[in-house]
Amino acid sequence: MDDTNQSDKNQKMVLKSIAKWLVIFALIAFVCYKNQDLMQEALEEIQITPVWKLVVCLLLGNLYFIAEGCIISVYQYGRESPVHTCVHFSGLQHLEAEPESHSFIIIICMASA
């Protein structure tokens, strides 16, 4: 009895997941269809942009999210933060820092990555 209930729940979860992804893809397809001219113009602009500028933009965007994650983890976990692990992993000596100077540790971590 429990096995059939569990399999029914699993089947419902799978169907919900499939339905969710179908709705997401339908919305994306609708937006792409409605904005074909804008997408073509954006693609043309991307094609004339030097590759190094695109790479720098992607790297800076990722660097921002990593730094933001480090800051959030410092405020959430305090001294047991993964930031200290990052400092150790980069080969730097562990700095006994006060909470106000965590941004310095984050900068060291980011510069060594």
CB 67 within 8 A of CB 106: yes
- Average pLDDT (1-29) is 86
Q: How many whole angstroms separate alpha carbon 42 and alpha carbon 35?
A: 11
Q: Where does the pLDDT of residue 98 fall: very low under 50, low under 70, confident under 90, or very high at 90 and above?
A: very low
Average pLDDT, the chain: 75
The DSSP element (H or E) to which 95 belongs, if any, is none
How many alpha carbons lie under 13 Å from residue 36 in its C-beta half-sphere?
Answer: 4
**How far is Cα 4 from Cα 73, in angstroms, rounded to an integer?**
42
Of 2 and 89, the structure prediction assigns the larger pLDDT to 2
